[in-house]
Amino acid sequence: MTTTETTTTAVAADPEIRALVTQFLATEARLLDEGREEDWYELLDDAFVYEVPVRQATEPRSHEFAQRGIRVKDTKAHIRTRIDRLNTGIAYSEVPPSRTLRVVGSIEILGTDAPDVVAVNSALLLYRQRGIDTWNDLIPVRREDTIRLAADGPRLLSRRALTTETTLGTPNLAVFL
């Protein structure tokens, strides 16, 4: 077994890290479901990058997300702009605001080369409904996160949200995955 495999295994087996990361993901989901984007924003690392690539149905699984198309690619500064726009009351994709429920599961935690950063794979099932619409969205996503285990609490360093569907049935992605 190599040193990297040993580190990865040790991180994945550490119950304190597992509890910390699982609680972090649960808190993050609750904050977003409650419309508390400002509080969620505080969980983001300053170097945060958020990406939602387009899945290519014509490609084999190994190349489905070959970066030929990106739905969203934001930095923390872009996220700040999106949140500020939501707070204006004229972000029409969110008037009225979406009612959401995020269910996070299948959490897998892996070590990285950085001692204070873990890689986290999880599944997200996002239910979304707007009060004026008779329909709802159910958006299944596989997420690839990196989380910095900082002294003042975990910080989301990056998120790559891989949608299960190639064509999204939702009219917009104004909510965070």
Q: Looking at the domain assignment, is residue 44 inside a domain? A: yes
Question: What CATH number does residue 18 fall under?
Answer: 3.10.450.50
- For 69, the domain range is 3-163
pLDDT tens-digit profile of 97-146? 889 999 999 999 999 999 999 999 999 999 999 877 778 889 999 999 99
Buried b (16+ CB within 10 A) or exposed e, 137-173: bebebebebbbbbeeeebbbbbbbbbbeeeebebeeb
Q: Looking at the domain assignment, is residue 150 inside a domain? A: yes
Q: Looking at the domain assignment, is residue 103 inside a domain? A: yes
Q: Looking at the domain assignment, is residue 168 inside a domain? A: no
| Helix/strand number for the chain, H first, E second | 4, 6
Element (H, E) at 18: helix 15-33
pLDDT tens-digit profile of 33-53? 999 999 999 999 999 999 988
Residue at 93: amino acid letter: S
Q: Looking at the domain assignment, is residue 42 inside a domain? A: yes
Q: Looking at the domain assignment, is residue 171 inside a domain? A: no
Q: Looking at the domain assignment, is residue 177 inside a domain? A: no
What band does 164 get if pLDDT is binned at 50, 70 and 90?
confident
State how many domains the chain has.
1
Q: Looking at the domain assignment, is residue 169 inside a domain? A: no
| pLDDT beyond 50 at 1 | no
Predicted pLDDT of residue 90: 81
